[in-house]
A and B are shown apart, each in its own frame.
Chain A
Amino acid sequence: MNDFEFEARRARLEPLFDSARSLADASTERGQRARERIAASSGLSPQGVELALQRCLESRPAESEISALIRSTPSAQVAHVLLSANVFVAAHRAIAIGLAASEHVRVRASRREPEMAELLFSGAPNSFQLVNELSPHAGDRLWAYGSDETMDEVAVTLPPGVALHAHGAGFGVAVMDGSLSESEWAELLPALAEDIALFDQRGCLSPRVLLVNAEPPFVGEVARRLALELAALEQRVPRGRLSALELSEIARYRDTAHFTGEVLEAGLGFVTLGTADRWLLPPTGRNIHVVPSSDALSALTPHRPLLTSCAFAGEPRLGQALSRAIPGARSCRFGQMQRPPFDGPVDRREL
């Protein structure tokens, strides 16, 4: 890519960033309206929306990250973007990738949660088109985000010659090495609680399982402290509205966990304790399964295709080994799971 092309792409992104910055600003009417609309459609509490806007909306990404995003995005005649629901800030990154790819960007918002795309569009109306249906042609590229069923449907209906960048379902894990001091691990738990609570855990980066390399009594203590942190965070940032089906899945998970291990109340959510050999994947809604694991590498390997994010704390060598073993998952520190660098799709499993 020559400098001219790079600059052209870079210029296309700026109006989008301006739009994101203005709606993140709570002091403006636009910012206020955005908060109300997003809370109404996402089901997140107003505090949950605010937290996500402040912590996760990349309205001022670093130039190095923007450069990486532009350089890693292939160009297209037309870039089509199919957005998913649940993680409202994801619309910003997805549209940015589209703009990096083409000057012609067509975006189909989630039918259930169209607000963020509409809000971004209203602040940058000349940057991209919001459409009800995508109709890509040969030579175009489609970036699609959502459930695996949606990705399958898209793949089979796509005309020949259209490049598909599909980002389906996944989940995050956190790994805590036993080499940490008590003060160190105690500091990690509030950060992990925030990772869990953001978007009420509905995102593919959200941590659902915590591996702790320690003896079971210590693991139990970590779980209890994490439950307290989640409960305390819920006081400041209440969990939002969950659907009946989500609540049903939580009941099913809770009872399974009662049978197989230990269940700790964590505000409205749960922290469950189990064994490393068979994971119980908690449903969304601020729940996490904690397992002792003396060999995180072996424990994670079978789940590699599903892992999008891995927070690690402990011996750097183990952290590096984990990064190599699961290259599709973004490696990060505790508290950073929902804030990956703005260097391309958050889901790197396709790359």
Chain B
Amino acid sequence: MTRAARSEALHRAVRRFAAGERTRSFDALAREIAEFQREFSPGFARLWASRRAPNGGADDIPGVPCDAFRMARVAIHPETEDRLRFWTSGTTSGARGMHAIRDPETYHELALAFGRSALLANRAAHQVVALAPLLDEPPSSSLGHMMALFMVDFEQRGRFDVRTPGRWLIDDRGVQIAGLEQAAARASERGETLLVLATSFALVSLLDALDGRPLPLPPSTVVMQTGGFKGKTREVAPEELRSAVARTFDIAEAQIVSEYGMTELTSQLYEATLPGSALQAEQSGEPGVYREPPWLRVVPVDPVTLDPVPTGEVGIARIVDLGNVDSAVAIQTQDRVRRVEGGIMLLGRAAGSPPRGCSLSIEEFMAGGS
């Protein structure tokens, strides 16, 4: 079978798996994708060969470090087959990583399936706005693309141009508070649920702009918050931000759902806190605990040996994402995680940094120095 045909077959298998079909186990499918990638990616083949004989499970698939996306093309297919290209955040050294997507259909199905589970508390139509800059064309941000996807799908109005005024509520002047108020009014008039998609930094900017003033939103409003504060001037602890946002919007903290995603991944993780959501109905989740979709597994590994750590111990996250058929089915991040009841707890990047005095770190180099 050709590379393209095998890729197609694997995409179909992953979509069926996501739809609930279980003719193959997660481990078997992950392994099959890894074998495919080993055959067609010399880089992955070298990484694989550097490991001792894996035992056949998904947990032993070597993770491609996220740095590799900045250093090289991480894709099985040629550039001519790229349908979407998502870029990692820019650095002054110009070393941006790129995740090339050959089959957007898989990306869309997986993102929507788990997004609906985590963010929709009812079957009613939603009014969706993003505390984010206007989506570029073609979309270069995986987050922006996902937000646009949610706008179209969750609003249930058929296809429409998401680049209409009033949907992307950050511009050169900052967060458009009036735009958010108008969206809230529209949702109330129509009896729709307001869904606010936001980065953590955008929420902080909004709170700063409000300067303590409340901005009550409809009681059923849901907020999806994502992302950290890398490169930003002000950081706020997650629990503090959640509390402040809930207070400002006059909604319950459980209606603020955190998402964890990366440019290098196809799939996302969510907190299972939203009352009425499918994810919460399965098993109620605590804030700070992220639920994996069935087609993704986080494997906490020892940061030095990269071997899986015993359940409950802190490791760095290796993420096996079946959606990454054409890139890297296993990604090695530097994010510290611990498996807990109901999911994965994110603990941030490795605490501190190696004692390096004046020697330049990899992070500093990637960021272009000081």
- Which residue of chain A has its CB nearest to the CB of B93? A302
- Residue pair A259, B65 in contact (C-beta under 8 Å): yes
**Which residues in chain A, 3-28, are within 8 Å of chain B measured between CB atoms?**
none
CA distance A85 to B64 in the complex (A): 33
- Residue pair B360, A204 in contact (C-beta under 8 Å): yes
Given A255-B65, A256-B65, A305-B369, also A263-B358 (CB < 8 A): no
**Which residues in chain B, 122-147, are within 8 Å of chain A measured between CB atoms?**
none
Interface residues on A, range: 35 or more
- Residue pair B370, A168 in contact (C-beta under 8 Å): yes
Contacts of A252 in B (CB 8 A): 65, 67, 332, 334, 362
How near does chain B come to A47, taking the closest CB pair, in angstroms? Answer: 21
Q: Is B72 an interface residue (CB 8 A)?
A: yes
Contacts of A260 in B (CB 8 A): 43, 68, 71-72
Q: Is B356 an interface residue (CB 8 A)?
A: yes
Query: Can you identify 19 A-B contacts, CB atoms within 8 angstroms?
Result: A84-B358, A86-B355, A86-B358, A171-B359, A171-B360, A243-B355, A245-B353, A248-B304, A254-B50, A255-B64, A256-B65, A256-B68, A258-B50, A259-B44, A278-B71, A278-B72, A279-B365, A280-B71, A283-B354
How near does chain A come to B231, taking the closest CB pair, in angstroms? Answer: 14
CA distance A306 to B92 in the complex (A): 13
User: What 9 A-B pairs come out closest when comparing CB atoms?
Assistant: A86-B357, A248-B303, A204-B358, A259-B43, A148-B370, A84-B357, A281-B365, A245-B354, A259-B68
- Residue pair B362, A202 in contact (C-beta under 8 Å): no
How near does chain B come to A300, taking the closest CB pair, in angstroms? Answer: 13
How near does chain A come to B302, taking the closest CB pair, in angstroms? Answer: 9
- Residue pair B352, A85 in contact (C-beta under 8 Å): no
Q: Is B306 an interface residue (CB 8 A)?
A: yes
Contacts of A248 in B (CB 8 A): 303-304, 316, 350
How near does chain A come to B337, taking the closest CB pair, in angstroms? Answer: 14
A169 contacts which of B71, B72, B355, B360 (Cβ < 8 Å)? B360
- Residue pair A169, B304 in contact (C-beta under 8 Å): no
CA distance A169 to B354 in the complex (A): 13
Contacts of A254 in B (CB 8 A): 50
CA distance A170 to B306 in the complex (A): 28
CA distance A276 to B316 in the complex (A): 30
Contacts of A206 in B (CB 8 A): 359
Given A245-B354, A258-B47, also A278-B359 (CB < 8 A): no
Contacts of B82 in A (CB 8 A): none
How near does chain B come to A279, taking the closest CB pair, in angstroms? Answer: 8
Q: Is B62 an interface residue (CB 8 A)?
A: yes
CA distance A281 to B368 in the complex (A): 11
- Which residue of chain A has its CB nearest to the CB of B65? A256
Q: Is A344 an interface residue (CB 8 A)?
A: no
Q: Is B283 an interface residue (CB 8 A)?
A: no
Q: Chain B interface (Cβ within 8 Å of chain A)?
A: 43-44, 46-47, 50, 62-65, 67-68, 70-72, 74, 93-95, 303-306, 316, 332, 334, 350, 352-362, 364-366, 369-370
Contacts of A256 in B (CB 8 A): 65, 67-68, 71
**Which residues in chain A, 105-158, are within 8 Å of chain B measured between CB atoms?**
110, 112, 145-148, 151-152
**Which residues in chain A, 67-116, are within 8 Å of chain B measured between CB atoms?**
84-87, 110, 112
Contacts of B64 in A (CB 8 A): 255, 259
Q: Is A284 an interface residue (CB 8 A)?
A: yes
Contacts of A168 in B (CB 8 A): 358, 370
CA distance A259 to B63 in the complex (A): 10
- Residue pair B358, A145 in contact (C-beta under 8 Å): yes
CA distance A176 to B365 in the complex (A): 22
CA distance A321 to B332 in the complex (A): 41
- Residue pair B370, A169 in contact (C-beta under 8 Å): yes
CA distance A146 to B47 in the complex (A): 35
Q: Is A253 an interface residue (CB 8 A)?
A: yes
Q: Is A50 an interface residue (CB 8 A)?
A: no
How near does chain A come to B355, taking the closest CB pair, in angstroms? Answer: 6
- Residue pair A251, B357 in contact (C-beta under 8 Å): no
B360 contacts which of A146, A262, A281 (Cβ < 8 Å)? A281
CA distance A280 to B306 in the complex (A): 20
Contacts of B93 in A (CB 8 A): 302
- Residue pair B47, A86 in contact (C-beta under 8 Å): no
Contacts of A35 in B (CB 8 A): none
- Residue pair A259, B72 in contact (C-beta under 8 Å): yes
CA distance A203 to B355 in the complex (A): 11
**Which residues in chain A, 253-272, are within 8 Å of chain B measured between CB atoms?**
253-256, 258-260, 262-263
Q: Is A351 an interface residue (CB 8 A)?
A: no
Contacts of A249 in B (CB 8 A): 354, 361-362
